[in-house]
């Protein structure tokens, strides 16, 4: 049942052994109002709103194709799925899936690509503009009656700055990072792509990582979470931010040391921060990010930068395209 805690199944007619058995482990990660068409080939379709770790093996025991977004597919679980041939990840990040274990068993893994090229950059700039112009701080002040107490037609309790003429440092030069740069240039910003931390010789299009930290008015993250990028920004990096920039993270939790972020915000090392992601999602009420939500220069949104209606529909369509391409013997968006 929609939104129920128990599993729901939507199964077509009984399928013979030759038909694909498709299991979607966490259908609730795609809004119900999104059109998720069924694959065009004969198949048996089973979907569950969500799946606990201990339920994965049982639900996928007879599956030939598994659709997953955030549910973990471990090597042990994969080894107990004798019919599994394809894992369709309903996201770009494949962290929950043991891709190496899949490869060892001849299981193909595909992901979703380039669906968020508008929604994530637009959300990034929504956060950036809200901070740069203190939109939420002024809204909260108005709610508290500050306008009525003002001695004139307006009040100036919080800083307001233009984007034009400021420097935008972008960490992550992929499709989304490039789209963010294009929006920045449209606002009249100087844009810098940061070289990878600790790496030199990447060419003239890149600015040394430390220089980006030191010269940017805004720093925005658009890189994957890897062992080399975990805690990419921590106390040492905050100490180098001479211009007290705004820090935006719409990429991955774990890229920023969240305890150090709290110190940097409260000590004024940065002018503000806006995050759409957390290291643990959903965060507990005592999470380092949750302890910052009372600050006027901090914004936290619930991992929705990717979630415009248009982007999610593109994701859903591409998900089924990937499944149909695999069934036709022409797998696409293969993750190695």
- Catalytic sites, residue numbers: 252, 281, 303
Spatial distance between the Cα atoms of 253 and 106, rounded to a whole number of angstroms: 31
Report DSSP state, residue 233: B
Alpha helix locations (H) across the chain?
Answer: 56-59, 75-79, 99-104, 119-132, 135-143, 146-149, 175-186, 209-215, 235-239, 258-266, 309-327
User: Is 24 buried (19+), middle (13-18) or exposed (0-12) by CB count in 10 A?
Assistant: buried
Assign residue 167 a region (left: φ > 0; alpha: ψ between -120 and 50; beta: otherwise). Answer: beta
Cα torsion 119, 232, 230, 87: sign = positive
Please give the Cα distance from 109 to 87 (Å, whole number): 5
Order the strands of the 246-249 sheet from edge to edge: 206-207, 190-194, 167-171, 218-221, 246-249, 272-275, 298-300
- Quote the CA–CA distance of 258 and 210 in Å, as a whole number: 20
With tokens 């003239």, the residue in question is 204
């Amino acid at each position: 049942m929609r939104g129920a805690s128990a599993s729901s199944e939507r199964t077509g007619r009984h399928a013979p052994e030759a038909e694909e058995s498709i299991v979607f482990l966490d259908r609730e990660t795609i809004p119900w109002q999104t059109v998720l068409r069924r694959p065009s080939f004969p198949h048996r379709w089973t979907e569950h709103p969500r799946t606990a770790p201990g339920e994965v093996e049982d639900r996928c025991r007879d599956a030939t194709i598994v659709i997953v977004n955030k549910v973990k597919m471990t090597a042990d679980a994969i080894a107990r799925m004798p019919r599994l041939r394809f894992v369709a990840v309903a996201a770009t990040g494949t962290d929950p899936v043991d891709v190496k274990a899949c490869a060892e068993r001849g299981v193909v893994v595909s992901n979703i690509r380039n669906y968020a090229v508008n929604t994530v950059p637009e959300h990034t700039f929504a956060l950036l503009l809200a901070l740069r112009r203190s939109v939420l701080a002024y809204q909260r002040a108005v709610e508290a009656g500050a306008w009525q107490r003002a001695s004139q037609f307006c009040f100036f309790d919080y800083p307001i700055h233009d984007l034009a003429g400021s420097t935008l440092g972008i960490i992550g030069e992929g499709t989304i990072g490039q789209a963010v740069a294009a929006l920045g240039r449209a606002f009249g910003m100087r844009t810098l792509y940061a070289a990878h931390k600790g790496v030199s010789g990447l060419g003239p299009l890149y600015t040394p990582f430390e220089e980006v930290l030191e010269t940017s008015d805004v720093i925005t993250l658009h890189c994957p979470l890897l062992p080399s990028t975990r805690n990419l920004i921590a106390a040492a990096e905050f100490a180098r931010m001479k211009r007290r920039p705004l820090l935006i993270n719409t990429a991955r939790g774990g890229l920023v040391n969240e305890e150090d972020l709290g110190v940097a915000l409260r000590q004024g090392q940065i002018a503000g921060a806006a995050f759409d992601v957390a290291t643990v999602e959903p965060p507990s009420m005592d999470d380092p990010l949750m302890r910052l939500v009372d600050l006027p220069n901090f914004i936290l949104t619930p991992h929705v930068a990717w979630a415009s209606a248009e982007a999610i529909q593109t994701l859903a369509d591409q998900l089924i395209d990937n499944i149909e391409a695999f069934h036709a013997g022409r797998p696409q968006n293969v993750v190695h």
